[in-house]
Every structure is written in C-alpha cells, then in structure tokens.
Structure 1
Amino acid sequence: MVSIQVQGKTITCDRGENLRQVLLKNGIDLYNSQASVINCRGLGTCGTCAVEIVGEVSEPQWREKTRLSLPPHSPQTTRRLACQVKVLGDIKVRKYDGFWGQGSETVWTET
C-alpha cells in the first residue's frame, strides 16, 4: 500500500492504481467549478483533472503530454492529469484554481 496526502487527508491505495479513480473513490472533489460536468471521464482529453504531484508516479505518456501542451495548460508546467497517473509510491497532491486547474492559486494542498 502507498499513501496519498491530499486535501488535508491521508488515503491509501495499491501501488499502480489510477490517481483519478482513487481520489474520486475517496470523496475528493477533483474538479473546479463546473468542470465535473464536462470532464472526459478519464480519457486524458479535457485537462480538467490537472494537479501537482510530489512523489513517485508513472511517467507522462503521449496523450497527457499532448493535452498539457495545449492552452490553457503549458508544456512548461509541472502539472499532471490525475486520470493518466499511476501511483507508484507515497505522494502529495495539490490542486490549483482555474477551470482546468491551470491557475496559480492553491485550491487545496496535501496538508
């Protein structure tokens, strides 16, 4: 089991589980504003589940890299799409403002 520090909580999951699924299963509201209505349900195409992650996770693949290179995201960002991330070790997750989570103000942090 690995631990995820998110939104002031610590939750656990099996190594290799999908971050989006784990967060939603544990009642973590992953989407800002009305983004929950238009999200792509984990396909990696909308970009609304963008979060900042510290810790061991899977490497970004082409779909995630492509979506994060398009506005309002930026290829220079440290954000990841929760729907495309596999949790490989203990992590800390932070969410930012903006419809797509692309903003600069923290919405929730790991502590």
Structure 2
Amino acid sequence: MPKVLAQGKTIECVRGANLRVILQQNGIDLYNGGAKVINCRGIGSCGTCAVKVEGEVSSANWRDKTRRSLPPHSPTTDLRLACQTEVLGDVKVTKFAEFWGQGSRIVWTPEG
C-alpha cells in the first residue's frame, strides 16, 4: 500500500486514492485561510488545494493543467491540485502559503 507523508503524518492508502480525500480524512490542513471555507470541494476549478508532491502520482489531467495555467498559479511550477491527483506510490506532500497555496513560504512539510 502506498504511503503519504504530510504534515508529520504517515498515511497508508490504496493505490489510486485521491490525494485531497486522503489528506482531509486524516486531519491534514490542506487549505490556507479563507480557502478552508471558499473552495470548489474537489472539482478542480478553484486551485486552492495546490501542493508540491514528490513521488509516484497520476499524470496531471486537463482540469489540473488548466487551473494551474491561470493566475495566480503558473504552469511552470511543480505544484499539483490535490483534488485531481491520484496516489500511485509513496509520496511526500508540502504546502505553501497564500490563498491558493502558490506562495514561496512553506506552511508545512512532509515531516511536519
């Protein structure tokens, strides 16, 4: 079973599990500030669940690519939308600051 390391927690999940669902089910602070209330609930349109993912995950789908091509995101960053990402193997997740998670300051790392 793949393992997700995020905010100091190691979470086992089934291969193909949705990253957003796994993080939320395990009490990980996926959203910054007002995005905790104002987000698209996983349909890939708001971009507030953007995280850096290291490890084996699905390729970015059209929703992920489209949303991250619009400001304040950039298609050249290594962020992914958690709601559009399937876990395929062990992964490490990092969350950055700002409403859409696109800031340069780290909010939390895989280790905590």
Same fold (TM over 0.5): yes
Name the count of aligned residue pairs.
Answer: 111
Q: What do residues 8-58 of structure 1 show as CA deviations (whole Å, max 9, x unaligned)?
A: 111110110000000000111100001011110000000000000000000
1-structure distance, mates of 2:22, 2:37: 19
* Structure 1: tracts of 5 or more residues without a match: none
1-structure distance, mates of 2:91, 2:56: 6
Tell me which amino acid in the other structure corresponds to 2:57.
Answer: V
For residues 17-96 of structure 1, what are the structure 2 equivalents within 5 Å? 17-96=17-96
Q: CA RMSD, aligned part only? A: 0.5
Q: Which moved more, 1:2-11 or 1:81-90?
A: 2-11
How many percent of aligned residue pairs carry the same amino acid?
A: 65
TM-score with structure 1 setting the length: 0.98
1-structure distance, mates of 2:36, 2:46: 11
Tell me which amino acid in the other structure corresponds to 2:100.
Answer: W
1-structure distance, mates of 2:5, 2:27: 13
Question: What's the counterpart of residue 103 of structure 1?
Answer: 103
Q: CA deviation at 1:76?
A: 0.5
TM-score with structure 2 setting the length: 0.97
Please give the secondary structure, in 1, of the residue aligned with 2:24: helix
Please give the secondary structure, in 2, of the residue aligned with 1:10: strand
Question: What's the counterpart of residue 2 of structure 1?
Answer: 2
Please give the secondary structure, in 2, of the residue aligned with 1:14: coil
* Structure 2: tracts of 5 or more residues without a match: none
Q: CA deviation at 1:61?
A: 0.9
Q: CA deviation at 1:96?
A: 0.1
Tell me which amino acid in the other structure corresponds to 1:11.
Answer: I
2-structure distance, mates of 1:59, 1:14: 17
